[in-house]
Structure 1
Amino acid sequence: MIVQTIAVDIGGTYARFAVAEVAGGRVTAMHNPITMKVSEHASFQLAWQAFAEEVGKPMPRAAAIAMACPIDGDVLKLTNNPWIIRPALIPEKLNVEAWTLVNDFGAIAHAVTQLDEKQLVLVGGPDRPLPDDGVISVIGPGTGLGVAQILRRNGQYHVMECEGGHIDFAPLDSLEDEILQYLRQRHNRVSVERVISGPGLSNIYEALVSVEGMTVEAIENTKLWELAVNNKDSLAAAALDRFCLSLGSVAGDIALAQGAKAVVIAGGIAPRIAHFLSRSGFIERFVAKGRFARMMTEIPIRLITHPQPGLYGAAAAFADKYTANNYNQSG
């Protein structure tokens, strides 16, 4: 039995909506994907209604919602987003009878469990499918650094979110020592997401400017990424190289800590750096774990290429919770 649900991925700047179809515990289709600016709507309910008007037909009585914030508590508030969501009022406000609410990176992990292998591109390690049994680590640089793990066992899976993006940044060479020293002047504590995230590239760049003793004009972060990815500025390109090195180090550390049999790179930055990882020092840093280096070479590393993994993952989380056996759509 096919069930329709509205999939929603709410971030600090944008909210994404789509009509998803699920059956047998899996996502089977997604329709009418729409991206809205949060600033253009005073509340989540109003954005939901705007999406309904855009679709132009009765909305399903089900919602699959991913949010960029912890989802515990009676009142949920996103960073850099004025919307306030009270989970207990979701059925009333959205006129739904079934719903799921998941952290945005938890949604990414749910997506990993259901995406086709063609949308998980190999960037390192042996070319084999994600394991059917054991732990898969999911790491995603975006606005911050998301970390989660998937445990597959006996044909089922469990998603466990964590705050791995807030572990301490550990430099591995003299230049990274200087980057850390620079960042310590600005932050009481330097976590890995100060380096491995969208804003992290600016932090690395500014540290390198200081190391080089240069004077340069400030560059907006989006422009800096453009310069770095297109190799239009040598210092920006050097910052991107350092970004990839640090991502490799941290991805390897997370894999070791979680006992992973595979690693998936996700997050908003992932598509920009897909073709850089295999020719950067990412792989060398990932496997450089001393006595465990040989074991690390046996871990496949894949990168998500799906254009809307958050939306897909929200629907996947709904599909995992509601199946034809325990939820029949009433209209």
Structure 2
Amino acid sequence: MSAKDAGSGCEIVVADIGGTHARFALATIAADGAVSLGEPVKLQTADHASLQTAWEALGRMLGRTLPREAAIAIAAPIQGEVVRMTNSPWTLHPGRLADQLGLDAHILINDFAAVAHAVDCAEPDDLVHLTGPDIPLPDRGAISIVGPGTGLGIALLLRTGGHSHVVETEGGHVDFAPLDSVEDRLLAHLREHHTRVSAERVVSGPGLRAIYRVLAELEDRDMPRGDDKALWSMALEGTDSLSAAALERFCLCLGAVAGDVALTHGPAPVVIAGGLGYRLRDVLPRSGFAERFAAKGRYAALMRNQSVKLITHPEPGLFGAAHAFAKRSAD
């Protein structure tokens, strides 16, 4: 049985599986396709051997039998008979998911495809303006979705007048392009550990530590104690001058990458998403993000005319996955 056969007016499980967290919720899809999302449950992927064992843990936590229909978004390219996550040891076998999870109907999509579906359905209040013209997202044309988290997600939303198409991509794995001497040093540092340095190595959660280390070496300082989570908290709270400088550099790099993606897709308007994107909603407008986004040489004037927004829905992956299921069922 496929998602198309599942019909509407149903309850489903939605899942957003990232490198660090596996988020779940029960969602109700009304007969008209409207989605009502239940209270999210967040599990650590490191605490569970597989999606199947995390699914079983979810059922125990909720104290009930889970619905037999599901929308699953995962941080990996959905190709072939085996799906291996980029930033997690979990491995999925799409052809066996239905039997493993006890499902009659399901869809499996890329996590940033799910976010793109959320952007497509977002209310105006769920989109905060960052830079460029403060206008609504267009009804026609391309919209780029860029989101830093454990990795760097990128997707394309294409609107063609009454219809929307989501294109899954792995754009976060393009080459990192340094733009000044500090970023030259950052690239050299990362090359000591990676054969190839992608944009994701810089514009993602672990990237802040790499940036901090380069700045610390520049000033002959020691690295702070604690993990990446502690470093991010220190940077966002502004309790340390070097972590604040690292955060500013992170925002510069995010602006440059977002601008490159916008150029690739048109240029096109951009929506910033991702777990870190949400945490940076108050930081980005005060940073050099906008300057770097538009700093594209002969195309600078054109880039300054591209609207950049940030989605503030607390669970866009879950929300978007549910909408993707509803849309697939209605087709």
Taking structure 2 as the reference length, the TM-score comes to 0.90
| Matching of residues 1-331 of structure 1 within 5 Å | 2-23=9-30, 26-79=33-86, 81-323=88-330
What is the CA-CA distance between 1:309 and the residue it aligns to? 1.3
- The structure-2 alpha-carbon separation of the partners of 1:14 and 1:27, relative to structure 1 and needing over 3 Å to count, comes to farther
What is the CA-CA distance between 1:69 and the residue it aligns to? 1.7
Matches of 1:209 and 1:131 in 2, distance apart?
43
Matches of 1:57 and 1:186 in 2, distance apart?
46
- When structure 1 is superposed on structure 2, of 171-180 and 230-239 the one drifting more is 171-180
Structure 2 residue runs without a partner (length 5+):
1-7
- The structure-2 alpha-carbon separation of the partners of 1:60 and 1:14, relative to structure 1 and needing over 3 Å to count, comes to same
What is the CA-CA distance between 1:234 and the residue it aligns to? 0.7
Contact 1:202–1:221 (CA under 8 A) maintained in structure 2: yes
What is the CA-CA distance between 1:39 and the residue it aligns to? 4.2
What is the CA-CA distance between 1:25 and the residue it aligns to? 7.1
Matches of 2:279 and 2:141 in 1, distance apart?
29
What is the CA-CA distance between 1:219 and the residue it aligns to? 4.2
Contact 1:245–1:281 (CA under 8 A) maintained in structure 2: yes
Deviations 1:200-253 (A, max 9, x none): 000101011122233344542111111111111111110111111111111111
Contact 2:20–2:150 (CA under 8 A) maintained in structure 1: no
- When structure 1 is superposed on structure 2, of 131-140 and 115-124 the one drifting more is 115-124
- When structure 1 is superposed on structure 2, of 252-261 and 76-85 the one drifting more is 76-85
Matches of 2:184 and 2:265 in 1, distance apart?
26
- The structure-2 alpha-carbon separation of the partners of 1:156 and 1:24, relative to structure 1 and needing over 3 Å to count, comes to farther
- The structure-2 alpha-carbon separation of the partners of 1:89 and 1:188, relative to structure 1 and needing over 3 Å to count, comes to closer
The secondary structure found in structure 2 opposite 1:170 is coil
Structure 1 residue runs without a partner (length 5+):
327-331
Give 2:273's aligned amino acid: A
Deviations 1:103-128 (A, max 9, x none): 11221111111121211111111121
What is the CA-CA distance between 1:172 and the residue it aligns to? 1.8
The secondary structure found in structure 2 opposite 1:198 is coil
Give 1:156's aligned amino acid: H
What is the CA-CA distance between 1:14 and the residue it aligns to? 2.5
Give 1:229's aligned amino acid: L
Give 1:2's aligned amino acid: G
Matches of 2:302 and 2:14 in 1, distance apart?
39
Matches of 2:19 and 2:187 in 1, distance apart?
28
Contact 2:158–2:164 (CA under 8 A) maintained in structure 1: yes
Taking structure 1 as the reference length, the TM-score comes to 0.90
What is the CA-CA distance between 1:321 and the residue it aligns to? 0.8
- The structure-2 alpha-carbon separation of the partners of 1:202 and 1:7, relative to structure 1 and needing over 3 Å to count, comes to same
CA RMSD of aligned residues (A): 2.1
Counterpart of 1:329 in structure 2 is none
Deviations 1:264-283 (A, max 9, x none): 00111112211111111110
Give the paired residue count: 324
What is the CA-CA distance between 1:23 and the residue it aligns to? 4.0
Matches of 2:144 and 2:316 in 1, distance apart?
16
The secondary structure found in structure 2 opposite 1:274 is coil
- The structure-2 alpha-carbon separation of the partners of 1:183 and 1:83, relative to structure 1 and needing over 3 Å to count, comes to closer
Contact 2:269–2:306 (CA under 8 A) maintained in structure 1: yes
Contact 1:27–1:114 (CA under 8 A) maintained in structure 2: no
Contact 1:65–1:314 (CA under 8 A) maintained in structure 2: yes
Matched-pair identity in %: 50
Give 1:242's aligned amino acid: R
- The structure-2 alpha-carbon separation of the partners of 1:183 and 1:81, relative to structure 1 and needing over 3 Å to count, comes to closer
Deviations 1:147-183 (A, max 9, x none): 1111111311111122221222222222222222333
Give 1:233's aligned amino acid: D
What is the CA-CA distance between 1:285 and the residue it aligns to? 1.0
